[in-house]
Amino acid sequence: MVQSLLYISQLKFTLRKHSKLETTILHAKKPLVVSSTNIANGSQMASSGLEWKVNVPVEALVNEPAVAKRVYTQLQGLILKILMHIARFLEKARNVATSDPRKVIHGVKVGMALSLVSLFYYMRPLYDSVGGNAMWAVMTVVVASEYSVGATIAKAFNRVSATFLAGSIGVGVHWIANQCGEELKPVILQASVTILAAAATFSRFIPSVKARFDYGVMIFILTFSFVSVSGYRVEKLLELARDRVSTIAIGTSICIFTSMLLYPVWAGKELHNLICKNLERLADSLDGCVTEYFKNNEENISRKHEGYKFVLNSKAGEEAMANMARWEPAHGRFRFRHPWKQYLKVGATMRSCAYCIETLSGFINSEVQAPELLKKHMKEVCMKLSSSSSNVLKELAITTKTMTKSAKTQFFVQEMNFAVQSFQNAFNNLSKQAFLTSEHEEDDEKTAQGAKKVPIMAIFPIATMATLLIEITERVESIVIEVENMAAQAEFEVVNH
C-alpha cells in the first residue's frame, strides 16, 4: 500500500517535470515574436555589437492557457504533497503495527465489540427490550474500550457506579424540587446542577480522585445534569433511568468480555515485564558505559549503553500501569491484590540508579581523559566492579521474571561488595606506585621513594569514575532491598538451584 502510493507520487513527479518543460517551450515561443519588434525600436542598444538585450514584456507571456497550466501544476504539487504526507503517515502506522501487533488486535477487538453491540439496533426483540436506548450501549462500548484490561474495568466500573449514583441523587433532587411547587422547581434544579457540578469538577484536582475516579466524576456530572434537567420534560424518569442502567450494563459487559477473553493485555503483566526489562537495560547500560570508557578510540561507538534513557523516562508509564493494574482480577501468576505499589518503589530506586549512570555516561566522551597508564592500571578493577553490579541487576531481572526468590542474589551482592573492597585496595596500591603532582612540574622528576609522579588533574576523571561506580553499587543495593520487599509481599517462590 505504502509502496504503491510512493510509486504514484513518483509518477506524478515525472508528469510534473514534463508539464514544466512544455510550459517553458510555450514561454520561449512568445518572446521571440515580441523581441523582433523590440529590436527595431531599440537599435542603439544593439549598436554595442556583441551584446543583445531582449526586453520581454512579462504580461504578454501570461495568457490564459498558461495560467490554467500553472494552476494545474500547483494543484499537482499540492496533491503530491498530500500523498507524500499520507505515505509518511502510513509508514509510521506500519512501524507501530510491526513493533507491537497487539495494537492492531486491539483495533479489531473494538471493531468486533461495536458490531456486536450494534446488533441491538438490527434485532427488533433486542431493540425493544431496551426501549430504544441502544445508543447508550454503543456509547459505552466506544468510550470504555481501553487497551488494557485494567483500564477497561476501571472505566466500566466508573461509568456504572457514577451513573447509578448520579441517577439516584438526581431523582432525589427531583422529588424535593417537586415538593416545593412549580415556581421553585427550576430554581432548585438549576442550583443543584451548578453546585454539584462545581464541587465535582473541583474534586478532579484531588490526586487520589484523579488517579482512580477521574472518568467517574465526569460521568457523574453528565448523568446528574441529564436527569435533573431533562426531568423537567420527560415524565418517565425512573423508566428512563432503568433503561439507561441496563444499556450501560450491556455495553460494559461486552467491553469487559472482549478485553478479557480475546488476546487480553493485562496492565499488571505489562508493568511486571517493564520492570524486568528496565533492570536488564540498567545492567546493559552500566556494562556498556564502562566498556566504552576503557576501549580504544578506533572501535565503533555502540548505542547499547543508552538503555538507561528508557528508565529515566518510565515514571509516568509505570504509575499509569500500576493504577490500572489494581483493578485487574487474578491473571497468570498475579493474584488480585498483587503489590503493584511496590513496583513503583522498585521503579523509583531504578531511576535513582539511572541518574548516576547518566552522569557516568557524560564522562565517556569527555575531553578530559585519564592518562593511558592510569587507565590501564584501573581497567581491570573498574570492569570487575561494573560487571559485578550488572550481575546483581541481571540476577534481579531473572528473579523478577521467574517470580522466584533465589539465593544467588545475595551471593552476587557479596561478590559486588568484595569487588568494591578490591577496587579500593587497587587505588591504594596505585598511590604507592605514583605520587601525584601539579602538571607544571617536570614529569620525569622522581620522589625520594622513586615513585612516579602523575599530574593531579589527571587523576580526576578516574577518581570520579571510581566514586560514581561505588555510588552505583550503593544504589544497586537499594534496588536489591526494594526487589526483596516486592518478593516478600508478592510471595515469590523459593527455589534452590
- Give the footprint of a copy of itself on residues 6-65 (CB under 8 A): none
> Distance between CA atoms of 459 and 297, rounded to whole angstroms?
20
Residue 482: all three cell numbers together: 526494594
Element (H, E) at 344: helix 340-364
Contacts of a copy of itself in 64-93 (CB under 8 A): 89, 92-93
* 332 lies in the site for a copy of itself, by CB under 8 A: no
CB of 293 to a copy of itself, least distance (A): 13
* 417 lies in the site for a copy of itself, by CB under 8 A: no
Among 35, 355, 375, 415, binds a copy of itself (CB under 8 A): 355
Among 2, 8, 84, 114, binds a copy of itself (CB under 8 A): 114
* 414 lies in the site for a copy of itself, by CB under 8 A: no
Among 118, 178, 253, 485, binds a copy of itself (CB under 8 A): 118
Residue 407: all three cell numbers together: 539465593
Which range binds a copy of itself by CB under 8 A, 76-84, 98-106, 161-169, 478-486?
Answer: 98-106
466 to 113, 282, 370, 378, 416: CA distances (angstroms): 58, 18, 12, 9, 14
* 363 lies in the site for a copy of itself, by CB under 8 A: yes
Residue 439: alpha-carbon gap to chain centroid: 49
* 225 lies in the site for a copy of itself, by CB under 8 A: yes
Which range binds a copy of itself by CB under 8 A, 27-35, 157-165, 214-222, 279-287?
Answer: 214-222
Residue 367: all three cell numbers together: 575531553
CB of 111 to a copy of itself, least distance (A): 3
* 323 lies in the site for a copy of itself, by CB under 8 A: no
> Distance between CA atoms of 345 and 478, rounded to whole angstroms?
10
* Residue with Cβ nearer a copy of itself (11 or 82): 82
Among 40, 205, 442, 496, binds a copy of itself (CB under 8 A): 205
Between strands 452-455 and 493-495, the pairing is unpaired
* 198 lies in the site for a copy of itself, by CB under 8 A: yes
> Distance between CA atoms of 424 and 417, rounded to whole angstroms?
11
CB of 38 to a copy of itself, least distance (A): 46
Q: 96 Cβ partners below 8 Å, 6+ apart? A: 103
CB of 380 to a copy of itself, least distance (A): 18
* 327 lies in the site for a copy of itself, by CB under 8 A: no
Among 23, 35, 437, 489, binds a copy of itself (CB under 8 A): 437
Phi, psi of 312 (to 5 degrees): -60, -35
* 424 lies in the site for a copy of itself, by CB under 8 A: yes
Among 76, 161, 273, 464, binds a copy of itself (CB under 8 A): 464
> Distance between CA atoms of 18 and 7, rounded to whole angstroms?
17
- CA-based end-to-end distance of the chain: 53
Place of cell 493504577: 323
> Distance between CA atoms of 370 and 364, rounded to whole angstroms?
11
Which range binds a copy of itself by CB under 8 A, 25-33, 176-184, 299-307, 312-320?
Answer: 312-320
Q: Find residue 434's DSSP bridge partners.
A: 452
* 467 lies in the site for a copy of itself, by CB under 8 A: yes
> Distance between CA atoms of 475 and 467, rounded to whole angstroms?
12
Among 107, 172, 329, 332, binds a copy of itself (CB under 8 A): 107
The H-assigned helical ranges of 55-123 are: 58-61, 64-99, 102-117, 119-122
* 103 lies in the site for a copy of itself, by CB under 8 A: yes
Between strands 434-437 and 452-455, the pairing is parallel
Rg (CA), the chain: 37
* Residue with Cβ nearer a copy of itself (225 or 399): 225
Among 17, 315, 337, 376, binds a copy of itself (CB under 8 A): 315
